[in-house]
């Protein structure tokens, strides 16, 4: 544990990066509180949360036809209705993430409750936004030094587009797919560094290999079209 908390791992660069990320987090919460009222939760978000909660409770599989789906409370999006009740673009993981912060909310299945506590459904995506910023800083710093890391993270943290997407302010929840895509590409490059290394080094690198699998699962689970990441990652590795 003492080796983990070293000056190299937690020094001035990490502190400054954390301050920038705190600024990003503050802007997200400000927009969440001031930019949109809780009653502005649209029907697609209510549908997403309700589908996820039903799967968390073992009642049905999110994004598939279900007799437990309560008609009139949340109508499915047009692409789901056109596909006989199946979501053609997202896996159940997409719905589980949307409702993960509401799992322990006792009356989360009620429409009024979801509207009153709709901000909870956005917390996972704000977390993804912070993690994507941290990942961007880490990679930029490795490639271009501290200055490159600060510039990249500064542009990210004060980008209206990233703040908007992280808080779902009139935006679809695709920030998780973005973080998974970023992680898949750069982790694939990191894994490729040890393809021809001694066997002991490859086995020691199991954490990067696991992270690569999790990144691909997050990206493709949130957006099926990102299956294209698999051949792209293989090209980078080769």
pLDDT in tens, 130-143: 999 999 999 999 99
In sequence order, what are the residues at sequence separation of 6 or more whose Cβ sits closer than 8 angstroms to the Cβ of residue 79? 87, 88, 89
pTM for this prediction: 0.85
Beta strands in the chain (DSSP E): none
d(CA 147, CA 2): 28
Which tens digit of pLDDT belongs to each residue from 64-113?
887 555 544 567 777 887 777 788 889 999 999 988 888 876 554 455 55
d(CA 82, CA 157): 38
First to last CA, the chain: 36
In sequence order, what are the residues at sequence separation of 6 or more whose Cβ sits closer than 8 angstroms to the Cβ of residue 226? 177, 180, 181, 219, 220
Which tens digit of pLDDT belongs to each residue from 175-186?
999 999 999 999
In sequence order, what are the residues at sequence separation of 6 or more whose Cβ sits closer than 8 angstroms to the Cβ of residue 177? 218, 219, 222, 223, 226
∠ CA 186-190-194, rounded to 5° = 160
Tokens of 191: 């894994």
């Amino acid at each position: 544990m003492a080796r983990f908390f070293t000056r190299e791992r937690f020094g001035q660069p990490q502190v400054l990066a954390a301050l920038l990320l705190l600024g990003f987090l503050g802007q997200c919460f400000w927009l969440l509180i001031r930019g949109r009222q809780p009653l502005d939760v649209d029907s697609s978000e209510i549908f997403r949360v309700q589908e996820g909660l039903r799967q968390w409770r073992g009642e049905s599989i999110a994004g598939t036809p279900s007799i437990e789906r309560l008609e009139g409370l949340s109508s499915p999006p047009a692409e789901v209705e056109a596909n006989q009740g199946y979501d053609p673009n997202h896996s159940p993981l997409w719905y589980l993430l949307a409702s993960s912060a509401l799992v322990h909310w006792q009356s989360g299945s009620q429409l009024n409750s979801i509207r009153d506590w709709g901000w909870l459904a956005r917390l996972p995506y704000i977390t993804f936004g912070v993690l994507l910023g941290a990942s961007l800083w880490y990679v930029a710093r490795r490639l271009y030094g501290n200055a490159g890391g600060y510039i990249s993270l500064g542009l990210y943290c004060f980008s209206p587009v990233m703040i908007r997407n992280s808080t779902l302010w009139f935006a679809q929840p695709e920030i998780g797919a973005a973080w998974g895509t970023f992680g898949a590409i750069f982790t694939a490059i990191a894994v490729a560094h040890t393809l021809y290394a001694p066997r002991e080094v490859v086995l020691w690198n199991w954490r990067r290999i696991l992270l690569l699998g999790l990144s691909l699962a997050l990206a493709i689970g949130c957006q099926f079209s990102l299956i294209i990441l698999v051949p792209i990652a293989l090209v980078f590795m080769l």
